[in-house]
Each structure stands twice: as structure tokens, then as C-alpha cells.
């Protein structure tokens, strides 16, 4: 039973991790060669056909591609990746043949790192596991000594009291019954199995614990500190609003996007991507001139167009509604023939489950929720209001985030979990009681530093991780209480000769079996 339970938990982890292909198709000019992924070099071009798994991490060469990321993130919805964006080993190409330029050796792929972290997790034991191991080392010689005393004590007493009828068979039988009852198998087996089951159940949800000690630690978390970009938001600029004055919204978008094709700025790319996604055919701008710190000047068709910030329009003495200056998000203003034409609002949108994640945490009595960000305070405050976060701090450097967490930890009652994804979050992840990193969008440094990895990049998984950990701990406590209680009772009865061998077998094997069955429940648990 124990073996089956362990194997099932291992299968849950393997289903998430063991998706590495055995071969890779390397493209060299017009020729292709199939080789082992271990033999592929950084910089090589790899081709992946529809239905095949990506063998190594790389950047997409195709204009776009659709991928099944379930093996890495647990998400069944295909993910669209654009040219130049990262493709991870283990993803499956779903709609077309794609090519990518390898950026990491096979052994350093995201998938390989995750597998290594899971394998190392078994070496990081929870306090309960550590205690039971120490307990077993002390407990075993004591009960063996007591079993010997149960036999030898009455034998020696028979020399002092000749009236006492000592029977070797009876007392050896009692000693053996005592030994069978006192076997710590139920405790030694059920506790690590319970935690291993919890790690396996979490992996099914796209949550990777680096050790059972972190599974245990997260049960006590009452304060959650979150980064903004990439954690609560999608981490990419997208067009949120188009507001036109002298033309239609589509005409404004087409005009602005045409000019922004000549810029490499992330905001410009976001607008162009949005426009091309609307199947717009963009006109080619002429006489494009960049005005540093302001924006672009160009000719689109027969019109003189200005695209940029408010300072650009001020420079050319073009009037516009001054209330636009009060908008916290990034806006791109447009003027056509020296007349204000409208603006496009670009922002980092919240993740779909961000608001619900905050509600779920509060339902778990995590009342102290804080957001820290390097973005402008106005943007951070607005997002916090939308998500229901009462404490939000912006304009922070990495050292400022550390300072905020240190202040929280000054109160010994605060057990702090920090959730982040960037390199700048690594110091805070290390400082917190439990560090949680976004595994999909997160940087290598953040993932390596964190104690828990959320492969789905969903903030809602924080509550899921806490629920699974608390359920695992409840099962472990149930097993310890039940096993210890039964053994103490039957041990007393056995020492007094009131328990027979069958009752002893139940106290050992029977209790172990029941404890294992109880531990297995965590694998079926839905949260």
C-alpha cells in the first residue's frame, strides 16, 4: 500500500516533468539532422513539427506559434508566442511547424531545473519528519530494553519469591507481543508519506514545493507580500482604451500604429501588435523623426502626425484636455495637422484571477496582504483599489522592498510569504519565511531562490498551495495522534498480559495500514 501510494505521487510529478523528448531536429541551411538534445549547441536552429515537444529552451524565429503548455503550467488553453519570445522545453507545437534558436543547453533548460528541484525536495524534511526520525532512534532501543525487562524482570523476581510461578513461555510471549505493538512503523511511514503525497498533489496543480519543510512552513503564513508586474499583472503592455476626437477609433489606432512601427519602444510595439491583431493594414510613414524624450514626428498619407507624450504636444504648442495629465497609466497622444486627435491608453492588465486570489487569501484568514512595486505610486494605488488590496507601495527599489519585509518581520507574529518573479525580487524571496516565485514568467534567479514555484503563473495558486499544505498537515497530525494513541493503549494492555498477538498485529500492521490509507487521501483531495 505504501509503495503504491508513493508511486502514485511520483507519477503525478512525472506527468508534470518527464516530458523531455529523446531527439531534436537541427536545421543547417536546407539540411536537417536528428540528434540527441544533449548534442545540440546554443545558437543552433531547431525545428519542431506539429504535435512534437520542444526539446530545448530557445527564442521563436517564426512570426508566431501556438503551444500546448500543460506539461509546464497545468493550463489546457494553448498559448500564442510571438517572434523573439521565449519557448520552453516541454511545450508542444499545436498549429504549425516552428523553428527556434536555442538559448540554453539541454541540461540547463527550465524543465531540467524544475526536475532537479523536485528531486532535491526529498532531502528537505519537515520538522515533523525530522522529529520522528530522531524519535525512532531513541524510541526503538528503549522499547527493546523494556521487552527484555518484561521477560527478565519476572524471572529475577521468581528467585526472590519462590511462590511466584515463572513460566518462560508466558513471559517471552508477552515480551514478543510488546515488541510487535511497540514497532514505530505507523509513525515512521505515515508522516513522510503524508508530506510526499502533499507534494505530489501540489504538482498536479502546477505547484512545486522544494521540500516538505516548505509545505509545513506555508501552513503558518498569515502575511502575503506581492510584487506587481508579472505577479498580479500580466507583465506585458496591452492597449486598454482608444479615445479619439477628430476621427474614428480605428482611424486613430491605424495612424498611431503606422508611426510606431518605426520605434522599438515596448509601448510602441504593444500598439503595433494590437493593431495588426485587428487585421489592420498599416500605411507606411514618411519623413519619420524621433524627438528624444517626447515621441515621433512623421507624415502619414497627406497628414503631418505627432505621436508621443504630453511634452511633445506642448513643444509644438498644440492644445489638449489638461485632465489627461491626471491619468495614472501610460497614454500615447496623437495630433494630426497640428490639431489634437485623441489618445491611446496602454497598461499592464491584471491577471484574470488576481482579484479572486485576494478574496481566497482572506478566506484563509490571511488578512495582511501587501503589494510592493517599482512602478509609480499612482498606478500601484489604482491597481490595489481594483484588487481590494489595502496596503500598496510604489516607486520602490529592491532595497526598499527588503526594508518593507524586514519591518513586517519585526513583529514575531507575522509569518511572511513573498510572491515575485523578477531578479530584483530575489533578495526579498530569500528574506521571507516562504518565498514563492512565478515559474513561467519568473527569472532564473527568482526561481532558484524561491521555496515554492507556481508553474501556472496564477496568483490564485497561492491560496491553493496553502489549502493543500494545511490539508496535508491535518492528515499528518491525524496519523500521529491515532497511531500513538492506539499504541500506548495496547502497549499497556500487552505489558499486563491483557493483549494477545492478534491485537499486537493490529496495533502495528493494522494501524500502519490505516495511517497509509489516510495519507493517500491527500492525492485525491480537490481544492
Residue 227 known to be catalytic: yes
**HSE toward the beta carbon, residue 493, CA cutoff 13 A:** 16
- The closest of 17, 12, 3 to 522, measured between CA atoms, is 12
Catalytic hit among 44, 227, 433, 457: 227
Cβ proximity of 23 and 36 under 8 Å: yes
* Helix pair angle (110-121, 2-17), 10° resolution: 160
Residue 515: how many CB atoms within 10 A of its CB? 28
Q: What is the dihedral sign for C-alpha 84, 86, 88, 91?
A: negative
Q: How many helices (H) and strands (E) does the chain have?
A: 18, 22
d(CA 109, CA 96): 23
Cβ proximity of 35 and 24 under 8 Å: yes
8-state DSSP, 42:
T
Rounded alpha-carbon distances, angstroms, from residue 145 to 177, 179, 252, 264, 491: 14, 10, 88, 78, 14
The values of phi and psi at residue 376, to 5°, are -55, 145
Rounded alpha-carbon distances, angstroms, from residue 274 to 86, 271, 313, 340, 346: 20, 5, 24, 22, 10
Cβ proximity of 409 and 416 under 8 Å: yes
d(CA 237, CA 347): 5
Taking the CA atoms of residue 464, residue 468, residue 470 and residue 475 in that order, the dihedral angle to the nearest 10 degrees is 160
Q: How far apart are the first and last CA of the chain?
A: 24
Residue 22 burial class via C-beta count within 10 angstroms: exposed 0-12, middle 13-18, buried 19 and up: exposed
d(CA 283, CA 301): 8
The values of phi and psi at residue 297, to 5°, are -120, 135
Which three three-digit cell numbers place residue 421? 518573479
d(CA 168, CA 270): 88
434-438 and 452-454: which strand pairing?
parallel
C-alpha 51 chain-centroid distance: 26
d(CA 500, CA 180): 10
**HSE toward the beta carbon, residue 457, CA cutoff 13 A:** 25
d(CA 90, CA 96): 16
Rg (CA), the chain: 32
Residues known to be catalytic:
227
Amino acid at each position: 500500500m505504501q509503495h503504491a501510494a508513493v508511486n502514485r505521487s511520483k507519477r503525478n510529478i512525472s506527468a508534470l516533468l518527464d516530458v523531455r523528448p529523446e531527439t531534436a531536429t537541427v536545421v543547417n541551411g536546407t539540411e536537417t539532422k536528428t540528434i540527441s538534445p544533449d548534442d545540440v549547441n546554443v545558437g543552433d536552429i531547431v525545428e519542431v513539427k506539429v504535435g512534437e515537444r520542444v526539446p530545448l529552451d530557445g527564442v521563436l524565429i517564426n512570426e508566431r506559434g501556438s503551444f500546448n503548455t500543460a506539461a509546464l503550467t497545468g493550463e489546457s488553453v494553448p498559448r500564442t508566442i510571438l517572434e523573439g519570445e521565449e519557448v520552453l522545453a516541454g511545450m508542444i507545437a499545436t498549429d504549425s511547424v516552428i523553428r527556434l534558436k536555442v538559448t540554453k543547453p539541454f541540461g540547463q533548460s527550465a524543465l531540467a531545473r524544475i526536475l532537479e528541484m523536485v528531486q532535491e525536495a526529498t532531502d528537505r524534511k519537515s520538522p515533523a519528519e525530522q522529529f520522528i526520525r530522531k524519535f525512532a532512534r531513541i524510541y526503538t532501543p528503549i522499547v527493546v530494553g523494556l521487552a527484555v525487562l518484561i521477560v527478565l524482570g519476572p524471572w529475577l523476581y521468581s528467585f526472590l519469591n519462590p511462590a511466584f510461578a515463572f513460566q518462560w513461555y508466558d513471559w517471552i510471549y508477552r515480551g514478543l507481543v510488546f515488541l510487535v505493538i511497540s514497532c514505530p512503523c505507523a509513525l515512521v511511514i505515515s508522516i513522510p508519506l503524508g508530506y510526499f503525497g502533499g507534494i505530489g498533489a501540489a504538482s498536479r496543480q502546477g505547484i512545486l514545493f522544494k521540500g516538505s519543510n516548505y509545505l509545513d512552513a506555508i501552513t503558518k503564513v498569515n502575511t502575503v507580500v506581492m510584487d506587481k508586474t508579472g505577479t498580479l499583472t500580466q507583465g506585458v503592455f496591452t492597449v486598454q482604451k482608444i479615445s479619439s476626437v477628430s476621427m474614428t477609433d480605428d482611424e486613430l489606432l491605424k495612424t498611431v500604429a503606422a508611426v510606431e512601427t518605426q520605434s522599438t519602444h515596448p509601448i510602441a510595439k504593444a500598439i503595433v501588435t494590437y493593431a495588426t491583431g485587428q487585421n489592420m493594414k498599416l500605411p507606411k510613414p514618411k519623413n519619420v523623426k524621433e524627438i528624444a524624450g517626447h515621441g515621433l514626428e512623421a507624415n502619414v498619407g497627406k497628414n503631418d502626425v505627432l505621436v508621443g507624450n504630453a511634452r511633445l504636444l506642448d513643444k509644438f504648442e498644440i492644445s489638449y484636455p489638461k485632465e489627461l495629465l491626471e491619468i495614472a497609466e501610460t497614454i500615447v497622444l496623437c495630433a494630426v495637422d497640428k490639431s489634437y486627435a485623441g489618445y491611446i491608453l496602454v497598461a499592464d492588465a491584471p491577471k484574470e484571477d488576481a482579484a479572486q486570489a485576494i478574496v481566497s487569501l482572506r478566506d484563509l484568514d490571511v488578512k495582511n496582504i501587501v503589494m510592493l512595486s517599482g512602478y509609480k505610486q499612482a498606478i500601484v494605488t489604482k491597481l490595489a483599489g481594483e484588487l481590494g488590496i489595502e496596503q500598496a507601495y510604489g516607486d520602490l527599489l529592491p532595497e526598499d522592498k527588503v526594508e518593507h519585509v524586514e519591518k513586517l518581520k519585526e513583529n514575531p507574529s507575522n509569518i511572511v510569504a513573498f510572491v515575485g518573479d523578477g531578479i530584483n525580487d530575489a533578495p526579498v524571496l530569500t528574506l521571507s519565511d516562504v518565498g514563492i516565485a512565478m515559474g513561467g514568467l519568473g527569472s532564473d534567479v527568482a526561481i532558484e531562490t524561491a521555496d515554492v514555484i507556481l508553474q501556472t503563473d496564477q496568483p490564485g495558486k497561492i491560496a491553493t498551495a496553502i489549502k493543500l499544505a494545511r490539508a496535508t498537515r491535518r492528515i499528518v497530525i491525524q496519523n500521529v495522534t491515532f497511531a500513538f494513541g492506539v499504541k500506548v493503549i495496547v502497549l499497556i494492555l500487552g505489558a499486563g498480559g491483557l493483549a494477545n498477538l492478534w491485537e499486537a498485529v493490529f496495533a502495528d500492521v493494522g494501524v500502519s495500514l490505516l495511517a497509509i490509507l489516510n495519507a493517500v487521501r491527500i492525492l485525491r483531495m480537490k481544492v
